[in-house]
Chains A and B, each alone.
Chain A
């Protein structure tokens, strides 16, 4: 029997070898597979269908949805004839462009303060992380319902009215927004503070020591060491801020799109088109912010 020649038994059928790179890729796909399936079903496919709706006049009858192809009519209607949409979009753009720098600067300052050594530092970190439970969910809804999220009173103070009238037209509404919603903007900085803090802690302390030995002032250290090492975190924070601001449930553009979805005059097709225009504006904003920040980051790292 084969016992006389054990090597024959051990011989394995020739297996098709897969390369290391292929295996690496397969492992990658294995890890991401569940996510891809879920994402495709509940996000990608709906997104694609929404795009189709935006090119159609959609009418919902009992049990079925009828589409009639209208090309880009929904888009041109939103951009050219809708009296409210463009105005809301401009308002949103201004608000975002005002809020993002404030959130970033505020988060950066707080993160740096929280990175120093002092008693009760842990407690303060918790307090500044708290906004994460405020800005989503029932709290912010209750606050805006009660009118506590903004300070509309400020805009009625005579001195403020005078001040606003002195300003050139283009600066007036951003300033007014800034004054009335300053506190609200600060509430959006919980996660951002965390991201800054974690990247501050990754900065090698020996760089600071070397700078101190060379006689660098605190001011110079901030501009030459701290700020450049926060550039990646800044880009990330900017993206996160824009996204949370634009998905905020009290956002006026979102509320308008929502109202139009179930409106007889509007309809699903029209609302879908507006959603895509909104997306385009958001991507544009992100592009602008990203361009400036990455430009600055490159200069900083030089």
Chain B
């Protein structure tokens, strides 16, 4: 039962990516790919292993990769800290979940619609808008922090729930990637739909979006991470403690200003990093099936 559920939702089932048999001639691929995939997996192993390291191993020099005497002390320290918090931790958790959920859905809608217009529609400002987006894509985000603060202040968004969501909706990277993927959808498909009388909205919802599912899933993963890990907005635009996010809260626990000493702080930081990282990994596992299986089959020859 569980296995069936898992394979259904994680995209684990065989969608025809994997050939059925194994043949000796395939060995050369493994020889090349296994060492490389170990490199790719190292950071994940590292984050798990360092969360269980006792202090002397965390500060060992040269740093050791794997934990030798695993301990749960970092976690008990962390939870002890959580229970002394003035505001219940569930409040931060709820904020983070809500904000992340709304941000991911809304930002995918906004940028995919914009990408559809930029990629498949013809209008005057098209090139200009895309060029401006590309410049914004390259601009250092921290440099615009202060003017952005002023804009947010003028809009009366300080200390509201929306300040977490609205500024990150227009994500230049998302628009950029999605437009490039949509450029790969052949115009013939859209023309055929138009001849059959499909409306713009139908073409966007029913044709374009399903065809760029891998891009959507990729952007969803990227946006999720940006939103989930965002502590900056809580620091800059929020004064009301009950509107801040989990990322911010865990950050304060581990910084030295919170009265924690650095040695214990490092251990708590490692445990907190693992806890913050797990949702990213889970989302990744759920969405990668989308990315991998439906990789742009245009159905047009």
User: Which residues of A line the B interface, CB within 8 A?
Assistant: 21, 24-25, 27-32, 34-36, 38-39, 41-50, 53, 65, 110, 113-114, 116-122, 124-134, 136-143, 145-148, 153, 183, 186-187, 191, 194-195, 197-199, 201-202, 204, 236, 239-240, 243, 246-247, 254, 257-258, 261, 268, 271-272, 274-276, 278-279, 282-283, 286
Contacts and interface: CB of A to CB of B under 8 A. Distances in A.
B143 interface: yes
Interface stretch (B28-36, B70-78, B79-87, B93-101): B28-36
A201 to B, nearest CB: 6
A197 B297 CA distance: 12
A202 B184 contact: yes
A42 B281 CA distance: 29
Nearest to A54: B143
B46 A143 contact: yes
Candidate in A35, A110, A126 with the most chain B CB atoms within 10 angstroms: A35
Interface string B142-182: 11111110110001000000000011011011011100110
Interface in B284-301: 284, 288, 291-292, 295-298, 301
B122 A24 contact: yes
* Interface class of chain B by DSSP: helix
Given A32-B129, A202-B184, A243-B137, A118 B225 contact: no
A240 B177 contact: yes
A110 B276 CA distance: 29
Q: How large is the interface on B (under 10, 10 to 19, 20 to 34, 35 or more residues)?
A: 35 or more
A268 B146 CA distance: 8
Given A32-B129, A121-B17, A261-B142, A201 B297 contact: yes
- Sort A-B residue pairs by CB-CB distance and give the 6 closest, nearest first: A28-B121, A275-B143, A35-B114, A49-B147, A46-B147, A31-B117
Interface of B: 14-15, 17-19, 21-22, 26, 29-30, 32-33, 36-37, 39-44, 46-47, 50, 58, 62-63, 65, 110-111, 113-114, 116-118, 121-124, 126, 129, 132-133, 135-148, 150-151, 155, 166-167, 169-170, 172-173, 175-177, 180-181, 184, 200, 204, 214, 218, 221-222, 225-226, 228-229, 269-270, 272-273, 276-277, 280-281, 284, 288, 291-292, 295-298, 301
Candidate in B14, B22, B284 with the most chain A CB atoms within 10 angstroms: B284
A32 B118 contact: yes
Contacts of A46: 144, 147-148, 151
B166 A42 contact: yes
B180 A187 contact: no
B26 A118 contact: yes
A133 B228 CA distance: 12
A254 B140 CA distance: 7
B113 A32 contact: yes
A286 B175 CA distance: 18
Contact of A121 (B18, B270, B295): B18
Contacts of B184: 198-199, 202
Contacts of B295: 194, 197-198, 201
Given A50-B143, A146-B50, A148-B63, A113 B32 contact: yes
B121 A31 contact: yes
22 contacts: A24-B121, A24-B123, A27-B117, A28-B126, A31-B114, A31-B200, A45-B151, A50-B147, A113-B32, A113-B33, A118-B19, A120-B18, A122-B15, A122-B17, A127-B41, A132-B284, A134-B44, A142-B270, A148-B65, A198-B296, A240-B173, A279-B135
A243 B169 CA distance: 19
Given A35-B175, A199-B184, A275-B143, A246 B138 contact: yes
A44 B274 CA distance: 36
A42 B284 contact: no
A165 to B, nearest CB: 24
* Interface class of chain A by DSSP: helix
Nearest to B144: A46
B5 to A, nearest CB: 18
Contacts of B176: 239-240
A223 to B, nearest CB: 20
A42 B151 contact: yes
Contacts of B144: 43, 46-47, 49-50
Contacts of A254: 140, 142
Given A43-B136, A44-B136, 19 more contacts: A24-B122, A32-B113, A32-B117, A38-B166, A39-B170, A41-B155, A42-B169, A47-B147, A65-B150, A127-B40, A133-B284, A137-B280, A142-B273, A143-B43, A191-B177, A194-B291, A202-B184, A279-B140, A283-B138
Candidate in A25, A133, A136, A153 with the most chain B CB atoms within 10 angstroms: A133
B142 A35 contact: no
Nearest to A118: B26
Contact of B214 (A32, A140, A198, A240): A198
A191 B276 CA distance: 22
Contacts of A240: 173, 176-177
B154 to A, nearest CB: 10
A145 B114 CA distance: 38
A236 B180 contact: yes
Contacts of B177: 191, 240
Given A122-B18, A246-B138, A132 B169 contact: no
